[in-house]
C-alpha cells in the first residue's frame, strides 16, 4: 500500500522555500505516503489519536455521529492537514474522516508536528491561515444550511462539486444521495426528488452517479434565492 517515502511532504509553499536556512534540521522528517481507497477511515471519532494527517491528494468527508445519526460536516479536497484539533485538546477525535475517493495521505506524529510548528514560523503562519479559512467556510455553510431550502442547498452542492472540487461541469458524485442528505440536513428521498426535478427542468442531466450541468445560471439563481 505504501507508495513512496515523502520527505518534508508537509512543508509546502513559503515554508518550503526556507528549507535551506538554519531551521532545515528541525523540519526534516520522513513519513510514509500511503494510498487508501474509498471508504477508508483515516480518523475515527471517539478514538485516541497521536497523528496529524496530511492529505496529499483525493477527497474526504469530515463527519460526526450526532444524537440522530451521522452528519457530514464538510467535504475537504487535498491538499491540507486534517485532525489538528486532536493534536492539542484531549486527543480523542471529535469527528471521523473518511476517504470518499482514492486518497493519498501520510500520518505525522503529533510531537513531530508540534516541533515543526515551534521551529518554523512560516509553517505556523500557513497553518493559521488554513484554519481561519476553514472557519469562514464553516460559518457560511452553517448559515446556508439553515437559511436555504432544499433546492438551494442541492444547487450549492452541485456547484461546489463542479467548481472547487472537480473543476468540470461534468463529474461523478463521490457520495450517495443519502450522504448528500446528511451533508445538507435533509432526507434521502428529498434529495432524489429534487435531483429528478432539476433533470426534468433540463438544469442538469443525470445518469447514475454522473451529473452534468446544463444550465449553470439556473443553479446560481436557485442557490441565490434561498
Partner DNA sequence: TAAAAAGTGTGATCCAGATCACAAACTTAC
Partner DNA sequence: GTAAGTTTGTGATCTGGATCACACTTTTTA
Q: How far is the CB of 140 from its own copies (least distance, A)?
A: 7
Residue of 2, 19, 48, 129 that binds its own copies (CB under 8 A)? 129
The minimum distance between CB 217 and its own copies, in angstroms, equals 17
Residues between 133 and 192 with contacts to its own copies, criterion CB under 8 A? 133-136, 138-148, 185
Q: Which is nearer to its own copies, 67 or 208 (CB)?
A: 67
80 contact, one of DNA, its own copies, none, CB 5-8 Å limit per kind? none
- Which 99-128 positions form the footprint of its own copies (CB under 8 A)? 114, 117-119, 121, 124-125, 127-128
Q: Considering the complex, what minimum distance in angstroms separates the CB of residue 191 from its own copies?
A: 15
Bridge partner residues of 213 (DSSP): 204
Q: Provide the greatest CA pair distance for the chain.
A: 62
Burial of 171 (0-12, 13-18, 19+ CB in 10 A): middle
How does 65-92 read in b/e, with b if 16+ C-beta sit within 10 Å? eeeeeebbbebbebebbbbbebbeeeee
Query: SS3 for 67-121, per residue?
Result: CCEEEEEEEEECCEEECHHHHHCCCECCCEEEECCCEEEEEEEHHHHHHHHHHCH
C-alpha cell at 29: 522528517
Q: Which does 41 bind (CB under 5 to 8 A by kind): DNA, its own copies, none?
A: none
225 interacts with, out of its own copies, DNA, none, CB within 5 to 8 A per kind: its own copies
Residue 211 cell numbers, joined: 451529473
Nearer to its own copies, 19 or 128 (CB): 128
CA neighbor of 165 nearest in space, from 157, 176, 177: 157
x/- contact string, 185-214, with DNA (CB under 7 A)?
A: xxxxxx-xx-xx---------x-xx-----
Q: Which residues contact 9 (CB under 8 A, 6 or more apart)?
A: 31, 33, 54, 56, 106
Summarize as ranges the residues that interact with its own copies (CB under 8 A).
62, 64, 66-69, 71, 73, 84-85, 87-89, 94-95, 114, 117-119, 121, 124-125, 127-129, 131-136, 138-148, 185, 224-226
Amino acid at each position: 500500500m505504501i507508495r513512496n517515502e515523502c520527505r518534508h511532504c508537509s512543508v509546502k509553499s513559503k515554508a518550503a522555500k526556507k528549507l535551506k536556512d538554519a531551521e532545515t534540521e528541525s523540519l526534516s522528517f520522513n513519513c510514509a505516503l500511503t494510498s487508501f481507497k474509498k471508504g477508508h477511515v483515516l480518523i475515527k471519532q471517539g478514538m485516541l489519536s497521536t497523528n496529524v494527517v496530511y492529505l496529499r491528494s483525493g477527497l474526504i468527508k469530515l463527519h460526526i455521529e450526532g444524537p440522530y445519526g451521522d452528519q457530514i460536516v464538510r467535504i475537504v479536497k487535498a491538499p491540507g492537514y486534517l485532525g489538528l484539533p486532536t493534536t492539542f485538546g484531549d486527543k480523542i477525535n471529535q469527528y471521523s474522516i473518511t476517504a470518499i475517493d482514492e486518497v493519498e495521505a501520510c500520518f505525522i506524529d503529533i510531537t513531530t508536528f508540534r516541533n515543526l510548528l515551534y521551529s518554523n514560523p512560516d509553517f505556523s503562519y500557513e497553518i493559521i491561515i488554513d484554519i481561519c479559512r476553514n472557519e469562514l467556510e464553516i460559518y457560511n455553510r452553517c448559515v446556508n444550511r439553515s437559511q436555504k431550502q432544499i433546492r438551494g442547498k442541492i444547487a450549492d452542492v452541485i456547484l461546489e462539486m463542479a467548481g472547487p472540487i472537480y473543476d468540470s461541469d461534468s463529474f461523478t458524485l463521490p457520495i450517495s444521495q443519502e450522504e448528500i442528505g446528511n451533508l445538507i440536513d435533509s432526507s434521502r428521498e428529498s434529495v432524489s426528488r429534487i435531483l429528478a426535478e432539476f433533470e426534468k427542468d433540463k438544469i442538469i442531466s443525470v445518469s447514475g452517479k454522473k451529473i452534468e450541468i446544463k444550465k449553470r445560471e439556473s443553479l446560481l439563481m436557485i442557490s441565490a434565492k434561498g
